[in-house]
Chain A
Amino acid sequence: GESVGLHLPTLSVQEGDNSIINCAYSNSASDYFIWYKQESGKGPQFIIDIRSNMDKRQGQRVTVLLNKTVKHLSLQIAATQPGDSAVYFCAESGGSGTYKYIFGTGTRLKVLA
C-alpha cells in the first residue's frame, strides 16, 4: 500500500542498536501523552502512554521520557528490530479539560540490517 510519511524526518538505526525518537509538544496544559506506531497501510497502533505526574515510564523494550519544563517527549526503543520500522507519532491531550488528542508530525524509523 501507499506509504505513510514519505516526507517525514527519518531516523536510520542499525539493527540491535537503541533508537531515540523525539517530540516537542505544544500545550503546557496537556497532561496525557501517547506514542503511536504506524505501519504502511495501517492505522496508528498504541505503544505506550505517560501522564504528566510522571517523568518516565517503561514498557517492553520501550521507554517514554517526559520533560515538562521544555515540553519534550522521547521514545526509546531498546535493541531495535526490523519490525520496528514504521512512522512514530506522539500525541498530547488533556489541556483545558478537553480530550482532543493532538498529533505531532511523526518520525520515520528505518532499521538497517
Chain B
Amino acid sequence: EAGVVQSPRYKIIEKKQPVAFWCNPISGHNTLYWYLQNLGQGPELLIRYENEEAVDDSQLPKDRFSAERLKGVDSTLKIQPAELGDSAVYLCASSRARGSPLHFGNGTRLTVT
C-alpha cells in the first residue's frame, strides 16, 4: 500500500508569513494526526481527526494554527503568521482505527527566518 504522503518536504519562510502543509493519508485510514517534532525530541500531538471531525485539538495553538480535513481524506495544516519558534518538522500520520499503529509520512521541515 502507498504510504502517507506529505508536501512540501522543505519550506523556508520569513517570520510573520503564512505557510501550509498538506497530507494524504493511507487509503482507508479514518484517523489522521498532525505532530510537531523538534530536534532531539519525540513527536508531540497537535491535532487528531476521526474522519472529518477534529476529536482532539487541545494542543493546537489556535491563535495562529489551523487545520482542516475536508471529506475525511486529505488534510492541511496552516500557520499564520509564522514565528521563529515554529521551526520544526511537521509530521502527519494515519491509522486504520483506534488502537492501531500510526503510519507516518516523512514530514515537512519548516525553517522560519
Q: Size range of the interface on A?
A: 20 to 34
A2 touches B33 (CB 8 A): no
| B4, B41, B102, B107: the one within 8 Å of A101 (CB) | B102
Kindly state the separation between the CA atoms of A101 and B33 in the bound complex, as whole angstroms: 10
Interface 9-mer from B11-19, B43-51, B60-68, B73-81: B43-51
Is B104 at the interface (CB under 8 A from chain A)? yes
Kindly state the separation between the CA atoms of A99 and B103 in the bound complex, as whole angstroms: 14
Q: Is the interface of A mostly helix, strand, loop or mixed?
A: loop
- Distance to closest chain A CB from B86 (angstroms): 16
Kindly state the separation between the CA atoms of A86 and B21 in the bound complex, as whole angstroms: 26
Kindly state the separation between the CA atoms of A34 and B107 in the bound complex, as whole angstroms: 19
| B31, B39, B106: the one within 8 Å of A2 (CB) | B39
- Distance to closest chain B CB from A47 (angstroms): 9
| B40, B56, B93: the one within 8 Å of A5 (CB) | B40
Please give the residue numbers on chain A whose beta carbons come within 8 Å of chain B beta carbons, in ascending order.
Answer: 1-2, 4-8, 32, 34, 36, 41-46, 49, 51, 89, 91, 93-94, 98-106
